[in-house]
Structure 1
Amino acid sequence: MPLFYVRGMPIGGTAIMLALVASMGGFIFGYDTGQISDILIMNDFKLRFATCTNPSDVSTCAFSTVRAGLIVSLLSIGTLAGALMGAIIADRIGRRYAMIIECAVFCIGVAVQLASFHVWQQVAVGRFISGLAVGALSAAVPMYQAETAPTQIRGTLTATYQLFITFGILVAYCIALGTRDLPGAQSWRTVIGIGLIWPCMLSFGILFMPESPRWLAAQGRLKEASHSIARSYGIKEIDESSDRFVQAEVSEIANQIELERRLQGGWIDCFKPRNKTLYRTLLGMALQSFQQLTGANYFFYYGATIFLSVGIEDSFVTQIILGAVNFFCTFGGLYVMERYGRRLPLIYGGIWQSAWLFVFAAAGTAKDPTTNSGIGKLMIVSACMFILGYAMTWAPGVWILIGETFPTKTRAKQGALATASNWLWNFLIAFFTPFIVSGIGFKYGFVFAACNLAGAVVVFFFLYESSDLSLESVDNMYNDPACKPWTSRTWAPVGYTSRYDLVEQTKAAQARKPFASGAIEEKHIEDVGDGSEVGSSVQTGVGSDGKQNGAAKDVKDAV
């Protein structure tokens, strides 16, 4: 039986569980990202892997900039390679089994790190291997969630991946706080070893979840796709009416897959200026790059070291504060991006983040924070305020835009290019931060402040407002010569008098309650059979004139 109904559609418990279980992939990434900052300052880890003038005195031990940079950043190189391979693996063997294999690779990387005794290169290689898995999971998990979750809650369930990343970072900080006083290598090996739990949970749990109906349909396994959809909607026993409903959705998926096969373009098509394809490729890569250049990972990777250098004795606690702000503010980010669109949150977020980074850098530059407790506290507050803005704007916003900015023909490849640019800058920041900090200290914050302002400027002049629009309408908007990025908030597709008219008609369509008794009504089955999605004129592109102008009509015409 369904757990509840959204816009009149049944939602089964399996839909909720598949989002939570698959999001463990994001948790794995967050945990592996968060743990290294605290591990780098643990006494036994420094004695084993840092350079010590007196091997028996930890105060004489320090990591060189090259060593610290490689230990931290090789994870990012692995994720870059893994992200490019992840979609290929998931297409070849299925979403679920791809995740299981990737979890096994992650465990191998953890084992390599745990087996390290005095060779820091082994720790770095272990993180590289784990990074391969993390990158592949970053491609497979959101894809699986988007393809399997019911349409009515797809956005929310897919966003749990980003939420679990922040949760993983917070949990890593908390565990490191609890293990830091353990004797010898137990302090850091416990933190790393606990990381084996999360891939085991994902591997075991995903076995009980349905495979992506879209992947099954692509393999010609339409009957299995039907059962997968039925489980997501909480339909245990398929009767005549529900069978027609499920089969209609399977047919729509199959038609869309056939259309994509006909339209699919190569890598070179991503760089053709026609239909603003090159424009959007460069825009996506720029947005992902600026997400890294906000400076968030400056705090996540080196936060404990940063706050140790400002005179904070218990930098572990400070990291937990940052992690908690990041995690809880992500909930607000989901609301902000839905309520205020895409452009305004990114513009104001960039300005907000720049302002607090300027405070952080100016305070650390003006006075020595190790001798002035007030300056140290101001820097902590400014860092928290920066994370607050980032978690509510640029953290979730860029990932949402990557899914809705590109045309169907090259969407997957443009998304891969954009994500690859994210991981590339992730590596560059992780590797070069020790060098830069050793040269300019807290003035590094001014660099990130400038990048945040530059990101806001790019959004203002180049990003179109895509909220409330179907993917087909977004494509039309980018190709409308009369529409400019700064006027795109009021643009509406053909058939609507205004964007407000679009939103109001969508609300009216969503207000229908066809499943009040849990039964599927014939008129809604017919709607689905016609290629429209129940209760959503935004997705189908049904205009105020009652005509289809969206993806459903395109599928029917092409197929």
Structure 2
Amino acid sequence: MALFHVQGVPIGYTAIMLAVIASMGGFIFGYDTGQISDILLMDDFLLRFAQCGTPGDVATCKFSTVREGLIVALLSIGTLIGALLGAPIADFLGRRRAMQIEALVFCVGVIVQIVTKSSWAQFAVGRLIAGLGVGALSAAVPMYQAETAPPQIRGAMTATYQLFITLGILVAYCISIGTRHASGGSSWRIVVGIGFIWPALLIVGIQFMPESPRWLAAHGHIAKAERAIAVTRGLPADAAASDYIIKREVEEIRASVEYERSVRKGWIDCFRPRHMILYRTLLGMTLQSLQQLTGANYFFYYGTTIFQSVGIADSFVTQIILGGVNFGCTFLGLWINNRFGRRKVLIIGASWQSFWLFVYAIAGTAKDPKTSKSIGDLMIVSTCLFILGFATTWGPCIWILIGETFPTATRAKQGALATASNWMWNFLLAFFTPFITRDIGFRYGFIFASCNLAAAVFVFFFLYESSGISLEMVDQMYNDPACKPWTSSTWAPEGYANRDELRQKIREEEAKKPLTAAHAEATQRTSTGSNGSFHDGEHISEKPLTH
């Protein structure tokens, strides 16, 4: 049974559930990211793994810069490797099986961390192993969501990955504050051990979701692909063979798969300049790198330590506030990115983030926040407002762009390269931040503020506006020599004056298309009443281009 209709086309509850369940992969990453900030300050963790001047006296225990950096950053090395392996694993095993196996790899990493008694290196290796699973999931999950969710809501469904990352961070903060005073190793082992729940939900839940129709079609299972689409539409499986909409989507998938087979590409093809392939590879890698250089993970990885240093009495509580702002504002980000496109959102977001990072850095540099409550409060407020900007713009928007910027033949590999660049910078920032803050303190904020300004300039000169048009048309736009990034917002295919005219024409054509009797009445009812709030232009036929 359909939950609602978009552009006259039914959307079933399974479409929503598959996005939510698959996004547990993002939750796993968010939880693992959020927990380490608080764990580093727990008494038992310090006594076991830090360097103590007086054995048994936690007041004399402190992590060396190298040790702290490795404990935090080795997760990112694992995610970098996992991201590169995620796409081929998902192609070989199928999207669902790949996610289940990758979740199990994460569980192995959790086990290694929990059984650690006194070796900080073992704990760090456990995070490395967990990172392999997280990185592979970061490649498989958005791919599965984009291929399985109905095209009319694809943008919003893919963005749930970022939403669940923020939720995972917030949940980790909340659990950590509840266990920090537990006796012995329970304080941090409970936090790490609860990490078993999230992959278990993914492993069990994804078993009841349909496999990617695109993967099924690529492996010759056309009938199963039809049934998978029917389920996401809220239709009976036995209606798949006769439903017009499903047959049309399957034919589009079949044509795309056949095209990919005829132009099968390798990794080297991602770096060929023809058809703007190299341009888009470098664009995706740079955007993912800039997402890290905004400075968000500076607060997520080391937030508790940072706010302890500004004199906050309970930095754990402050971290929860930041996590709540991050999670709550991501909902707003889903709407903003669908409503205002990509370029404008990223440029304004980077400018906003830069301003508040300058405030943060100036305040922390001008006066010692430990001796001035007003300065400490100003730094907390500026951090929250920075997080607000990130959660509504650079957080979700970059993941959406990775799914819609690349051409069909090289999309998986270009996406893997872009995601790997994210994890590489994630590692560099996580590892070197303790060294940098030791030497320049809160002036570190000036570096991130400058990076945000550079990001705004980069987006203006190099990113094309890809909202409101199909993936096929995105490819056409990048290959149109008359279109420039700063004019791309008004670009439309030949025969249309602008994108508004294009969208209106599509709505008119959609309303005229024959539907099954079960859908006819719903289409008539919603064709005038639906505002297409989830629509991101991706319902247009995505037949492959012939260059």
TM tier, smaller: over 0.9
Considering Cα pairs closer than 8 Å and 6+ residues apart, tell me whether 1 or 2 has the greater RCO: 2
Cα contact 1:406–1:475 (8 A) shared by 2: yes
Q: Find out whether 1:148 has 2:121 as its counterpart.
A: no
**Hey, what's the Cα distance between the residues in 1 that align with 2:210 and 2:479?**
38
Matched residue, 1:527: none
Name the CA distance, whole Å, in 2 between partners of 1:110 and 1:121: 14
Is the 2:350–2:456 Cα contact (8 Å) retained in structure 1?
A: yes
1:186 paired residue number:
186
CA distance in 2, matches of 1:21, 1:460: 35
> In the alignment, what sits opposite 1:288?
288
Contact 1:179–1:187 (8 Å) recurs in 2: yes
SS of 2:168 mapped into structure 1: helix
Q: Which moved more, 1:275-284 or 1:452-461?
A: 275-284
Give the C-alpha shift of residue 128 in structure 1: 0.3
- Distance in 1 (CA, whole Å) between partners of 2:301 and 2:436 is 14
Q: How does 1:409-424 map to 2 (within 5 A)?
A: 409-424=409-424
Q: TM-score, normalized by length of structure 1? A: 0.92
Map 1:318-333 onto structure 2 (within 5 A): 318-333=318-333
* CA deviations over 1:343-380 (Å, ceiling 9, x no partner): 11111111111110011011111111111111111000
Partner residue, 2:527: none
The answer (yes or no) to whether the contact 1:71–1:124 under 8 Å persists in 2 is yes
Distance 1:96 1:142 in 2: 12
Instruction: For 1:50-69, list aligned pairs within 5 A.
Output: 50-69=50-69
* Distance 1:515-1:223 versus aligned 2 partners, 3 A rule: closer
SS of 1:195's equivalent in the other structure is helix
CA drift of 1:14 comes to 1.8
Query: Do the aligned partners of 1:28 and 1:198 also contact (CA within 8 Å) in 2?
Result: yes
Report the equivalent of 1:348. 348
Which secondary structure state, in structure 2, belongs to the residue aligned with residue 492 of structure 1? coil
Cα distance, 1:276–1:52 mapped onto 2, change above 3 Å: same
Give the TM-score normalised by the residue count of structure 2: 0.94
Sequence identity (%): 66
**Residue pair 2:338, 2:536 contacting (<8 A) in 1 also:** no
Shift of 1:4: 2.6
- Say if 1:460 and 1:486, in contact at 8 Å, map to a contact too: yes
Offset at residue 89 of structure 1 (A) = 1.1
Provide Cα deviations, 1:460-485, integer angstroms capped at 9, x if missing partner. Answer: 11111111122222222222222221
- Does structure 2 conserve the Cα–Cα contact (< 8 Å) formed by 1:9 and 1:514? no
8 Å contact from structure 2 (residues 226, 240) kept in 1: no
- AA matched with 1:125: V
Residue identity in the other structure for 2:133: A
- Give the CA deviation at 1:512: 6.7
What is residue 490 of structure 2 aligned with on the other side? 490
| Greater mean alpha carbon deviation, residues 33-42 or residues 415-424 | 415-424
Determine if contact 1:75/1:127 at 8 Å carries over to the other structure.
yes
> Does structure 1 conserve the Cα–Cα contact (< 8 Å) formed by 2:158 and 2:399?
no
Q: Counterpart in 2 of 1:455?
A: 455
- Is 1:400 aligned to 2:400, yes or no? yes
Secondary structure, in 3 states, of the residue corresponding to 1:354? Answer: helix
- SS of 2:2's equivalent in the other structure is coil
The number of residues matched between the two structures is 537
The answer (yes or no) to whether the contact 1:506–1:538 under 8 Å persists in 2 is: no
Greater mean deviation of Cα atoms: 94-103 or 430-439:
94-103
SS at the partner of 2:5? strand
Question: 1:425 maps to which residue?
Answer: 425
Secondary structure of 2:518's partner?
coil
* 1:352/1:386 contact within 8 Å kept: yes
What is the letter of the counterpart of residue 345 of structure 1? Answer: V
Alignment of structure 1 residues 473-484 onto 2, 5 Å: 473-484=473-484
- Aligned Cα RMSD in Å? 2.3
Shift of 1:289: 0.7
- What corresponds to 1:530 in structure 2? none
Secondary structure of the structure 2 residue equivalent to 1:519: helix
**Contact 1:3–1:13 under 8 Å retained in 2:** yes
Look up the SS of the partner of 1:164 in the other structure. helix
CA spacing shift, 1:434–1:236, aligned 2, 3 Å: same
Match of 2:87 in 1: 87
Comparing 50-59 and 150-159, the one that deviates more: 150-159
Residue of structure 2 in register with 1:251 after alignment: 251
Structure 1 residue 5, shift from structure 2 partner: 2.3
Gaps of 5+ in 2: 525-533
3-state SS in 2 of match to 1:210: coil
Query: 1:269 offset after TM fit, Å?
Result: 2.1
Match of 2:305 in 1: 305
